[in-house]
Amino acid sequence: MIEVNNLCKNYGIHNAVDNLTFTIEKGKVYGFLGPNGAGKSTTMNILTGCLAATSGQVTVGGFDIYEDAVKAKKLIGYLPELPPLYHDMTVIDYLKFVAEVKGVKKSEMSEKLADIMEKTQIADVSGRLIKNLSKGYKQRVGIAQALVGDPEIIILDEPTVGLDPAQIIEIRELIKNLGEDHTVILSSHILSEIRAVCNHILIISHGKLVANDTPENLEAEHGADLETIFLRLTGAVPEVQEVTEDAGNI
């Protein structure tokens, strides 16, 4: 569904994304892992056409994200790191706006939006102004927005941030269900979440891809659990040891 070839993004001399190459296949749930500042959000912004790459190529469903931007973007629903919400609109007006831009037919609109609001459990706040919603609700409106128009690929940047434990479980269930007939890419800091939801894992560190496999294969190959693998691959292990040693001294 998505082909990424030699993708680079430089901010001045800093390489935020350094020569990434990977393929996203149809119908899988991908977990995108990496420490803070590894380039996860930058990569996701490039995949969705929000940001231009310095070099390299991204094609979505065969369409180049720059050359055929409109066709490529039709296939994607995206929740950025901060949900892009218009605070002066009501939830339903906001979703209607997104649906209209995505070309959802008028005759099907209210039915489809009702379905999405039920899935993300925001139906009870549909008439409220977005600025008056709690963080968890805002996050769910952001997810709902990504689902509008039934895109084949859904990209979620840290979808469970700001949710309470019960909501996290619901959203995980939702993502699992979405994975049955959609391609999903989600980034997260919570390894147990990735383990529970994803059937393929990409780990990036300092803008480079350091792992690209199923969780089972990774664990078998390294002979350790996901957490240890993550710390080892992203070079965080020595620091962690230092901290624990320091803690011991105190």
Partner 1 sequence: MLAIFKREFKSYFTSMTGYAFAAFLLLFAGIYTMSVCLVGYFANFEYAIGNMTFIFLLIVPILTMKVFAEERKQKTDQLLYALPLSMTKIVAGKYLALLGVMLVPIAVISVYPLILSMYGNVSLKISLLAVFGFFLLGAALISIGMFISSMTESLPMAAGISFLVILLNYFLPSFATYLPAGSELLSSLSLFNCMDDFVYGLFDLGNIVFLISVAGLFFFLTVQSLEKRRWS
| Cα distances (angstroms) measured from residue 60 to each of 28, 64, 238 | 15, 6, 38
- CA atoms of 156 and 191, how far apart (whole Å): 15
Q: Between 117 and 154, whose beta carbon lies closer to partner 1?
A: 154
Cα 184-104-78 angle, rounded to 5 deg: 30
Q: What is the largest CA-CA distance in the chain?
A: 68
Closest approach, Cβ 27 to partner 1, in A, equals 22
Of residues 45-74, those binding partner 1 (CB under 8 A): 45, 48-52, 69-71, 73-74
Range in contact with partner 1 (rule: CB under 8 A) among 14-22, 82-90, 168-176, 207-215: 82-90
CA 239 to chain CA centroid, Å, is 27
Nearest residue (CB) to partner 1, 46 versus 218: 46
Other residues' Cβ atoms within 10 Å of the Cβ of residue 25: 10
In the complex, minimum distance from the CB of residue 188 to partner 1, in angstroms, rounded to a whole number: 19
33, β-bridge pairs: 203
By CB under 8 A, tell whether 78 contacts partner 1. yes
Among 29, 33, 58, 98, binds partner 1 (CB under 8 A): 98
The amino acid at residue 1 is: M
Q: Does 87 bind partner 1 (CB under 8 A)?
A: yes
3-state secondary structure of 28: coil
Q: How far is the CB of 186 from partner 1 (least distance, A)?
A: 16
The stretch near partner 1 (CB under 8 A) out of 100-108, 170-178, 185-193, 236-244 is: 100-108
Number of residues that bind partner 1 (CB under 8 A): 28
Which positions ≥6 away from 58 have C-beta within 8 Å? Answer: 2, 3, 4, 5, 7, 46, 47, 64, 65
Residue 84 or residue 235: which is nearer to partner 1 going by CB?
84
User: What does the binding site for partner 1 look like in residue numbers (CB under 8 A)?
Assistant: 45, 48-52, 69-71, 73-74, 76, 78, 80, 82, 84-89, 97-98, 100-103, 145
